Amino acid sequence: MLQTYQGSCHCRRVTFEVQANLDYVVDCNCSLCRRRGALWHGASASSLRILTGEADLVLYQFNTNTAKHYFCSHCGVHPFIRPRLDPSRWAFNVRCVDGVDLSSIPVRPFDGENWEVAAKAYYERLK
């Protein structure tokens, strides 16, 4: 069921609103995600809106520099990214969303450590 959620970084300078059906979260084991411990859910470009704090965000990129990893320059939390799988979309960190019981949502692993293989399987499923 599509619902509207509010989320933020830890210091709440960065806040966002997103329409999503939180039927699963993605746990990625890439070199960055396994360190930051985020759980992701995808959102179309128009279904996520940054409400405050856009100027407080810092962009971090690595490897192919395709994904855009945004984090708050004050508290260091990563609320959302433009994912390498499709940088025209968003993925938001469900750990940053208010009022979500993560223990009730199934976790889907994404093998970001072997990104090319995992991405190929992901794109196949979209066909």
Q: Where on the chain is the footprint of Zn ion (CB under 5 A)?
A: 9, 11, 13, 72, 74-75
User: Which residue has its beta carbon closest to Zn ion?
Assistant: 72
Of 37 and 109, which has the nearer Cβ to Zn ion?
37
Question: CB 81 → Zn ion: shortest distance, Å?
Answer: 15
Question: CB 75 → Zn ion: shortest distance, Å?
Answer: 3
Q: Count CA atoms within 13 Å of residue 33 on its CB side.
A: 25
List CB contacts of 56: < 8 A, sequence separation 6 or more: 13, 14, 72, 73, 74
Of 56 and 111, which has the nearer Cβ to Zn ion?
56
Long-range own/partner contacts, residues 122-125 (CB < 8 A, 24 or more apart): 122/85, 123/85
Question: CB 38 → Zn ion: shortest distance, Å?
Answer: 14
